[in-house]
Amino acid sequence: MLPITAITRYKLRKLLKYGIVTLGVAWVLTVFSGEQVLTYTGAWFLLGIWTGVLEEFLFGRRFRSLAVPLQFFGKVLAVNALTTVFIMLAFLFDREQQLPFAQNAPFSAAQMMLMPQLYQMVLRVMVVSSIALLIVQVEELMGRRMFFGFLLGRYEKPVAEERIMLSIDLVASTALNEKLGDLLYFRFLNTTHSLMTDAVLRNEAEIHKYVGDEVIFTWTMRGGIRNENCLDLYFDIMSRIEANKQEMIREFGVVPIFRGSLHGGRVITAQIGHIKRAIDFSGDVMNTMSRMLGLCKDLKADLLISTELLARMPMATERFHFGEEHVVPVKGRKRAVSTHVVARIVETV
């Protein structure tokens, strides 16, 4: 049996997420309606899976060029229209079927089309699937960590945790901005970030934030070390960009090149802000990573990793080559940080 890839796991988790969210929304509405809670549980879960399939494989990419509100309303209209058509067809092909939420007596197709209970059911399906779409879309827009952090109040007080941080910065970004112009440069960045998606999913990374032309990724310490995910991500991103080199040249006349710095350790995670809230990281790891990125530019290296993090991955030397040690002075820190230039010597499939 072939192993399930990270991308496939992501898609399966997303379908399961739709099923669970839809079931939860339907359960809440059922409780307030005074009906039996377990009524049509399986049907609601399948509706969620169906909604996820339509959003992920059929309608998701078709509305991506629109503004976020229009993306949501477009998906809601498309998913609910197709779902309603299938509900109608299901009952038309089985004229003796008993309509949920209606009386128990059989009915003909003509009678069914005149029954208010049918339209009540369609309306309920539309409301449930629309709320499920909204919740999942907001969760994806905010990111899972931030979404559940806000929902559960986990980061109301600062939390210390072990994390790995990778920052990649676009080479010669100022010159590119001047060459392409603001609007085309923005599209260039957006296209480049889209190309990173497969690599991010494959290496189980989380995008912490975009800072202009810089992207910051993060993992839990365990998740980043596993299979050297934190090292592979940079090289997988560059391989993905190389594979789409001709398309980038044809559209923008240039191919993006990134440099990166990789560090890990204790960070403080907390919710910040009042009018505009966000969940952010702070601490020595973030400061050190920024200094390492500066050294990476000075050395004109592709990727730097701290010796401290490298010591946690003893098997990394089987697939990666690490150069001589370079020392990074860090402002406000008593001792400097030693780093190594990284090159991948064994390509992953």
End position of a domain, from candidates 87, 116, 142: 142
Identify whether residues 75 and 172 lie together within a single domain.
no
Question: 258-272 and 303-306 as β-strands: parallel, antiparallel, unpaired?
Answer: parallel
End position of a domain, from candidates 109, 142, 175: 142
**Which stretch of 51-55, 94-98, 151-155 has the lowest confidence by average pLDDT?**
94-98
Region 16-23: mean pLDDT is 90
Report the number of distinct structural domains present in the chain.
2
Identify whether residues 228 and 269 lie together within a single domain.
yes
Supply the CATH number for residue 216's domain: 3.30.70.1230
Expressed as residue numbers, the domain containing 134 is 6-142
Identify whether residues 257 and 137 lie together within a single domain.
no
- Of 250 and 115, the structure prediction assigns the larger pLDDT to 250
- Distance from CA of residue 270 to its chain's centroid? 20
Q: Which three-class secondary structure state does DSSP give residue 347?
A: coil
- Distance from CA of residue 339 to its chain's centroid? 30
- Of 222 and 346, the structure prediction assigns the larger pLDDT to 222
Structural domain includes residue 34: yes
Residue 1 is encoded by which pair of tokens?
């049996």
Q: Which three-class secondary structure state does DSSP give residue 214?
A: strand
pLDDT at 127 over 70: yes
Q: Where does the pLDDT of residue 82 fall: very low under 50, low under 70, confident under 90, or very high at 90 and above? A: confident
Structural domain includes residue 349: no
Identify whether residues 184 and 293 lie together within a single domain.
yes
Identify whether residues 136 and 169 lie together within a single domain.
no
**Residue-by-residue DSSP string for 268-286:** EEEEE-SSS-EEEEESHHH
CB proximity list for 92: less than 8 A, separation 6 or greater: 109, 112
Q: Where does the pLDDT of residue 138 fall: very low under 50, low under 70, confident under 90, or very high at 90 and above? A: confident
Identify whether residues 291 and 267 lie together within a single domain.
yes
Region 329-341: mean pLDDT is 76
Query: What percentage of residues in the chain have a pLDDT greater than 70?
Result: 81
Identify whether residues 125 and 159 lie together within a single domain.
no
Region 294-320: mean pLDDT is 90
**Which stretch of 111-125, 247-261, 305-319 has the lowest confidence by average pLDDT?**
111-125
Q: Express each pLDDT in 207-218 by its tens digit.
A: 988 888 899 999
Give the predicted TM-score (pTM) of the model.
0.76
Identify whether residues 73 and 202 lie together within a single domain.
no
Structural domain includes residue 147: no
Identify whether residues 191 and 283 lie together within a single domain.
yes
Q: CB count, 10 Å around CB of 312?
A: 15
Structural domain includes residue 273: yes
- Of 320 and 82, the structure prediction assigns the larger pLDDT to 320
Identify whether residues 163 and 19 lie together within a single domain.
no
Structural domain includes residue 289: yes
Whole-number Å distance between alpha carbons of 231 and 233: 6
Confidence (pLDDT) at 105: 55
- Distance from CA of residue 196 to its chain's centroid? 11
End position of a domain, from candidates 142, 163, 195: 142
Q: Where does the pLDDT of residue 93 fall: very low under 50, low under 70, confident under 90, or very high at 90 and above? A: low
Confidence (pLDDT) at 349: 46
Q: Express each pLDDT in 249-266 by its tens digit.
A: 999 999 999 999 999 999
Structural domain includes residue 149: no
Identify whether residues 78 and 194 lie together within a single domain.
no
Q: Express each pLDDT in 154-212 by its tens digit.
A: 777 888 889 999 999 999 888 998 899 988 999 999 899 989 988 998 898 989 888 88
Structural domain includes residue 148: no
Region 326-341: mean pLDDT is 77
Q: Express each pLDDT in 231-253 by its tens digit.
A: 999 999 999 999 999 999 999 99
**Residue-by-residue DSSP string for 23-55:** HHHHHHHHHHHTS-TTTTHHHHHHHHHHHHHII
Confidence (pLDDT) at 249: 93
Structural domain includes residue 234: yes
Identify whether residues 169 and 45 lie together within a single domain.
no
Region 89-95: mean pLDDT is 62
Q: Express each pLDDT in 20-78 by its tens digit.
A: 999 888 888 877 766 665 567 788 888 889 888 888 888 766 766 666 677 778 888 88
- Distance from CA of residue 348 to its chain's centroid? 22
